[in-house]
Structure 1
C-alpha cells in the first residue's frame, strides 16, 4: 500500500491565487507539487480550506474550525502514515483577539487530537508547519478590511509552534525560511513559494517515513 499523507491547511494549502482571486492549478499548488516529487509510492491528500483556523468558530463563516473537522478528515483517509498541518494565519484576524501564544495553544489541541486518533497505520508522524508571516502591508489592503490588525503576531507564531512541537514530540518546520508573500494582499504565497515549500516539505516527508522504515 502507498504511504498515505494528509496535508491539512487553509487557503495557502488550498492554493489561493491573489492575482485572479481563484485557485492555482495542480502544477503550482504545493501539496500537489510535493506529491509529484514524492512519486508513485506516496498518496497525498490535499485538505486545504480558505479561512480555516486551528480551533476557532468564525462568527461570519460556517465550518472553519480545523479542530471540528480534523477527526473525520483523518478517518476518511486512514490508515495514515503522516499528517502535515499548516494553520494559524486566519487565527491572526483581529476579531479573534489572540496572541501568538494563544494561536499555538490551538495548534496544540489539533496535534493532541491527531496523536490520540485511531487512524495510524503504525505510529503517528506529525509535522507542524509555521505559516509565513503576514506582511504589514496587508492591513492596508482590501483583505485588511477582513483581517484587521494581524501582522505583528504572525511573526511570533513560529517560535511558539516550535515550543509546542518539542513538548509533544512532533516535527516542526518554519516555512518563512523558504516562502514569500505576494504584493497584492501580502498574505498568500507566490507561485515560486508554492514550489519552494513543496520541495522542502517533500524532503521532510520522505526523510521521516523512509528513516522510520530503516529503523524498523
Structure 2
C-alpha cells in the first residue's frame, strides 16, 4: 500500500464557511481522495486552520508555521510515498506576508525540508505534489474581508507561481482553482460541493504519482 500525506490548512481540515463548523468526514477532499483510491493507498489528512507555509502567526493556540512543524510530521508518518502541499491562502493575510511570491518561496522551503529530512527509515524521500488553492473571492463578511484585505489579486497569482516552481524543481502540480471556487460567505473556504471536487480532481494525478 502506498501512503500520501496531505499537508494543508483549513481547506484540508474541512472548514465549512456556513457556520464555521467542520465538514462531515466524507465531504472533505482528503476523504474523497481516499475513497477514490480505496485500499491501494492510505491518505493522511494533516490540515490545520490558519497554517502558513513558513510564517509565524501567534493568534491561535496551535503553531501555524508549516515549516517548523513539518519535520515532526514527516517523521511521525514515515515512510511516505507522496507529500501533497496545499498551502498559501493564509500567507495572503497582510500581517503574515501578503504576497504570492512570499508563499511561493515558502513552498520552496517546504520542498527542501521534505527532500533533505533525516527520515527514520531507509526509504527515499517522497515525491511532492504542489496544489494551488482556489483564489480568494469577494465577501460581505466583515471579519474575513478585513483579515484578507487586498489579497484577492495576490491569491490569483499563486497558481502560475506554483506551476513554475513545480516545473523548476521536478514536482507534480495541480490547480485546485480549475475545479473549485471559494465561497462568497467568507471569501476563503469551500462548501461541500467544492471541497469534494478537489478530491475528485486530484485522483488521476495522485494515482499516477503513486504508480497505481
With the shorter chain as reference, the TM-score category is: over 0.9
Residue matched to 2:112: 112
Bigger shift: 169-178 or 92-101?
92-101
Aligned residue in 2 for 1:77: 77
TM-score, normalised to structure 2, is: 0.92
CA 1:59–1:205: 2 relative to 1, 3 Å: same
Structure 1's consecutive aligned runs of 4 or more residues displaced over 3 angstroms after TM superposition are 118-123, 138-141
Secondary structure (helix, strand or coil) at the match of 1:142 reads helix
**CA pair 30-130 structure 1, distance change in 2 beyond 3 A:** same
1:158 aligns with 2:184: no
Measured after TM superposition, the shift of residue 84 of structure 1 is: 0.3
Unmatched 5+ stretches in structure 1: 212-216
Report the equivalent of 1:49: 48
- Equivalent pairs counted in the alignment come to 209
Gaps of 5+ in 2: none
Maintained 8 Å contact 2:53/2:65: yes
TM-score (normalizing by structure 1): 0.91
Deviation at 1:153, TM superposition (A): 0.3
1:112-191 equivalences under 5 Å are 112-119=112-119, 121-135=123-137, 137-138=138-139, 141-191=142-192
1:77-107 superposed Cα distances (whole Å, 9 cap, x missing partner): 1000100000000000011343211210011
Contact 1:6–1:45 under 8 Å retained in 2: yes
Question: What is the rounded CA distance, in whole Å, between the counterparts of 2:171 and 2:142 in structure 1?
Answer: 36
Residues 28-67 of structure 1 correspond to what in structure 2 (within 5 A)?
Answer: 28-61=27-60, 62-67=62-67
Is residue 178–residue 193 contact of structure 1 (8 Å, CA) maintained in 2? yes
2:90/2:96 contact within 8 Å kept: no
**Residue 42 of structure 1, CA deviation:** 1.0
Following superposition, the deviation at residue 156 of structure 1 comes to 0.6
Whether 1:5 aligns to 2:7 is no
